[in-house]
Structures are given as structure tokens and as C-alpha cells.
Amino acid sequence: MNEHKNKKEPNFWVRGKRETKNFYAIQLHPAINIKSFIFGLLFAAVIIVPFGIMVFQYLMIYAYLGAFRIYLLIIWLGLLLFNGLSNYFTVKIAQAYDVDNHRLQAINAKYIFLYNCLNIGFAIFTLFIIIFLGLAVFV
């Protein structure tokens, strides 16, 4: 019992990584897989797009002040958030469609959201895209 008490809970990063790995290990029905992926992206877009438009519209008005690197940073953070949200909704939608899949139901989507928001691979990939494409447009 003491042993159990002293056992440290893994942090959100480790847990998120583990939950993401578990989710991708589950063999979902192809229809659920496609539906959850597409609607996951769609839900994330519905949440992110208005904020994206706000950044763009702000940029239109205050473009004369320069500071394009700050805008690029905001866009980058927005993409990371989008990645986190789309993964979160993918899991949630899959859980709504496959209620009898206990392994799927055991996954905590909140950790997947946090882990994917800070996914290093995606962060570096989008950073490179922003640097090469974004700077070409703005600077």
C-alpha cells in the first residue's frame, strides 16, 4: 500500500505520449477512423479559424508597425494549438462512435491535447514551413 502511495504519477507529457501511442495502437474501423480524423480537423478548424481571421485582420490594420516576427510566432502557436485540438477531437469523436471499445474509452483525451500542443516534431516542421514560406511573404 505504501509502495502505491509513493508511486509518482507521470507528468502530462509522459502521459500524453503514452495515451497518443495507445490511441494509434488501437485498430479502429476504417469508417470511424476516417470520420474521427476529418471531423476532428473540422472541429479544430471551427475553433481556430476565427482567431486566425482576427490575427490576419489585426495585421491588415497594423501592418505599418512591422513586427512581422511576432505575427509569425502567433501563427506558429496557433498551428500548435490546432494540432492539439484536432487530436483531441479525433479521440473524442472516435470514442463517441466506438463506445464498446474499452481500450479506446480508457484514453484520456486531455493528455493527448496537451502532448500534441507541444509536439516537438510538429513544432519543428511547422516552424520550418513558417520560416521558409512566411518570411518570403512578409519580409
Partner 1 sequence: MIRYIKNLYNGFINATISKKITAVALTLLYIALLLSVIVKVNVEVITPGGLNSTAYTDTTENESGSVKIMTENSAGNIYTVGVYSHIRVSYFQYLISQFSKNIDHNDYNPQTNLSDSEQVTRGKIHRNYSMNHALIVAYKEANKIDPTIYLDYDFKGLIVSAVYHFSETDLHPYDIITHINGVPVESYNHFSTLLAAASNNVSFPLTVKRHNEVKTITARKVLYQDNYLLGIETAEHYEINSENSTPKFTISEEMPSLGSSGGSMTTLAIYNALLEEDITGGKIIVGTGTINIDGTVGDIAGVSQKIVTAAMHKIDIFFVNAEDYEEAKTKCEEINAEFELIRVNTFTDIIEALAGDTE
Q: Which residue, among 83, 93, 112, has the nearest Cα to 34 in the 3D structure?
A: 93
Q: Which of 13, 62, 125, 128 binds partner 1 (CB under 8 A)?
A: 62
29 binds partner 1 (CB under 8 A): no
Would you say 18 or 110 has its CB closer to partner 1? Answer: 110
Cβ partners under 8 Å of residue 72, min gap 6: 130, 131, 134, 135, 138
Would you say 61 or 136 has its CB closer to partner 1? Answer: 61
50 binds partner 1 (CB under 8 A): yes
Grid coordinates in use for 65?
508597425
Would you say 14 or 67 has its CB closer to partner 1? Answer: 67
| Cβ–Cβ < 8 Å for 87, 107 | no
Residue tagged 474521427 (cell numbers) = 36
Q: How many CA atoms lie within 13 A of 18 on its CB side?
A: 11
What is the nearest approach in angstroms of partner 1 to the Cβ of residue 131? 23
Note the residues at the interface with partner 1 (CB under 8 A).
Answer: 35, 39, 42, 47, 50-51, 53-54, 57-58, 60-64, 89, 92-93, 96-97
